[in-house]
Structures are given as C-alpha cells and as structure tokens.
DNA sequence: TGAATATATAAGCAAATCATTATATAATGA
DNA sequence: TCATTATATAATGATTTGCTTATATATTCA
C-alpha cells in the first residue's frame, strides 16, 4: 500500500528542523548540489562548529548523508529517506539558492576548497 | 506576475511555528473545521493558557484568524494569507485528524461547548 | 614525520520556548 | 447584579536551542 501520509510526530520534528533559516537554506542548496562543510562556512559567514552542528541535526534525523572525499566531507540530501517526498514538496516551493554557490565560484572559494 | 516562491526568512518562521506537534495538529484540524479554544483544551488535554498561547502565535503571523461567537472565540484558517498555499501543501500531506473531533462529539464535548 | 587543513565534538552561556499558576476581561444567564 | 464560563495575558521557571571557544581526530602534503 502506498504511504500517503506521515505521522504527526515525525512531521513536526522534521518541520522543526526546517524551521531554522540556516538549515532550511542548506537543505534547499543540497537538494540540487552536494556541498562540503567549508562551503557552508563561506556561504553562511558563520563558524565551522556551528555549521557542523546544524548538519549533524539534519543527519541524525536522516535528512542528509555524508561521504568523505579525501580531506573533505561532502553532504548530500538523503533521497532514499522515507520522508524525502514530504521534504521535497516543501523545498520545491522555496526560491533557488543557486546564487549563493555562484558567488562562491566567483570568489574562487568553490574551486579552491572542493 | 504569479508569486511562485516565498522568502526564505518567512518560510523558516512559518516552518518553525508548524514544527510543534500541538500547533501542527491544530492547523490540520482548522484546515477542515473551525474550532473554539475549549475544544482544543479537550483535544490536547492541556491547560487553557497553553492553548491560547499557541493560537496567539499562529494568529500573530497571520495563519489563523479569530471570531467571537457569543461566549466563545472561534479560530479558523486564514485562507487569504499570502502564504496559505505554502501551508496547504504541507497540511495536505498529513493524516486527517478528524478522529479527534469525532471523539469530542462522542463524549458530547463538541455540542455542550459550542 | 610534522605542519597545515578540514571536520567533529564537548563545554559553557545567552536567548528562546513552552508549560504552569495567577489574574484580568468579556459574555451569559439566573 | 452576581456567579459562572470562556478566553487572554502576565509572570515565573525548566528545558531547549544555537552560538562561541577550546580541543580532538583525520587527511594531505612537503
């Protein structure tokens, strides 16, 4: 049987995680491009521990996954998560954040780092 | 021009409000039926001030509106809110909460009160 | 191997959140 | 008018959150 709805508990905890501008923007970016921690540090102009902590929350609940590539750890959306369709519908309604990555590229930060 | 996306700031603050099980359930119920405060007190088995405070948050950001009917104040979804389509897509993915109102009816609480 | 880079984690702290208790306001009905 | 009912608001306190600083771990490269 196709699962058409999500439990309220789980939905609330996912929405709570998405209810933070940094994490919401991260998810929107990750929905299109994998990113490493240092890119997020650049994009959000905040500390590395702060970024790591946000990513950990997203990972703990299964929304993103990590993969080491040499020195860097890349994060990506976990599209096989059972709640991904729920999240996708939300992300689809948000404005593209591609400009943030483009800015990184222009300042050479994307290439240098990853 | 049709507005197809929502600012990230606003989206995050809406998701934050929805990221609480009580408020999320309230919104799902209100999406189908108007309700008064005392009904929510029954449904959530919590204090009246707690319910009022949740409703105030939803009202402050424009997601619900209130209307006095005699002794009672009824809350309803503010469908003319510019962000309603965003919220609706989320609510549509959640399981019906009609059973909660049905329970109230069975125990006479819906009729007695409102 | 040792320095540099990328990341995670722990500890501490200020601010936000959510419930509770107490109180105020508004409407109803005897 | 007075008691009751419904609701809002204020004050308080415990918990959670998100940041910072400090430190640990893992990888790369000279």
A2 within some domain: no
A3 within some domain: no
What is the pLDDT, as a whole number, of residue A5?
72
DSSP string, A58-69: HHHTTSEEEEEE
Other CB atoms within 10 Å distance of the CB of residue A41: 18
What is the pLDDT, as a whole number, of residue B107?
79
> How far apart are alpha carbons B40 and A32 in whole angstroms?
40
Give the residue among B19, B9, B24 at the shortest CA–CA distance from B77: B24
Kindly tell me the number of DSSP H helices and DSSP E strands found in chain B: 7, 3
A100 within some domain: yes
Domain limits for position B51: 33-113
pLDDT value at B111 more than 50 = no
Interface test with chain A among B31, B90, B92, by most A beta carbons within 10 Å:
B90
B11 within some domain: no
**pLDDT above 90: percentage of residues in chain A:** 84
* CB contacts, 8 Å: A6 with chain B: 93-95
Q: Is the CB of B112 under 7 A from strand C?
A: no
> How far apart are alpha carbons A78 and A88 in whole angstroms?
11
> How far apart are alpha carbons A87 and A14 in whole angstroms?
8
User: What is the phi-psi region of residue A86: left when phi exceeds 0, alpha when psi lies from -120 to 50, beta otherwise?
Assistant: alpha
B95 within some domain: yes
Q: For residue range A61-102, list pLDDT tens digits in order.
A: 999 999 999 999 999 999 999 999 999 999 999 999 999 999
| Residue among A4, A6, A19 minimizing CB distance to B15 | A19
Q: Assess contact for B100 and B43: CB atoms under 8 A.
A: yes
> How far apart are alpha carbons A114 and B13 in whole angstroms?
32
* CB contacts, 8 Å: A20 with chain B: 12, 16
Q: Assess contact for B48 and B88: CB atoms under 8 A.
A: no
Lowest mean pLDDT among A46-60, A95-109, B29-43, B89-103: A95-109
Sheet strands (E) in B6-114? 35-36, 64-69, 72-77
Enumerate residues near strand D (beta carbon within 7 A): A 16, 20, 22, 46-47, 49-50, 53-54, 57, 68, 70-71; B 36-38, 41, 48-49, 51-53, 55-56, 66, 71-74, 113
- Give A53's pLDDT tier (boundaries 50, 70, 90): very high
Query: For the domain that residue A37 is a member of, what is the CATH number?
Result: 1.10.10.10
User: Which stretches of chain A sit within 8 Å of chain B by CB?
Assistant: 4-9, 11-21, 24-25, 28, 85-86, 89-90, 93-95, 97
Domain count, chain B: 1
* Strand arrangement of the beta sheet that strand A72-77 belongs to: A35-36, A72-77, A64-69
A93 within some domain: yes
Give the residue among B24, B11, B92, B18 at the shortest CA–CA distance from A91: B11
* CB contacts, 8 Å: B14 with chain A: 19
* CB contacts, 8 Å: A19 with chain B: 12-19
B4 within some domain: no
The nucleotide lying nearest B17 (C-alpha to C1') is: C17
A56 within some domain: yes
- B93/A89 CB distance under 8 A: yes
What is the pLDDT, as a whole number, of residue A111?
46
DSSP string, B18-32: HSSHHHHHHHHHHTT
* Strand arrangement of the beta sheet that strand B35-36 belongs to: B35-36, B72-77, B64-69
Q: For residue range B13-25, list pLDDT tens digits in order.
A: 999 999 999 999 9
């Amino acid at each position: 049987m196709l699962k058409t709805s999500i439990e309220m508990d789980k939905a609330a905890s996912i929405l709570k995680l998405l209810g933070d501008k940094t994490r919401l923007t991260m998810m929107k970016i990750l929905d299109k491009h994998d990113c490493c921690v240092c890119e997020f540090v650049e994009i959000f102009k905040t500390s590395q521990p702060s970024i790591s902590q946000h990513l950990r929350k997203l990972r703990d609940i299964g929304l993103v996954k990590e993969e080491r590539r040499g020195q860097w750890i890349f994060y990506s959306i976990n599209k096989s998560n059972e709640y991904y369709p729920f999240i996708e519908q939300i992300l689809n309604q948000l404005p593209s954040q591609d400009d943030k990555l483009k800015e990184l590229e222009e300042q050479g930060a994307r290439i240098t780092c990853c």
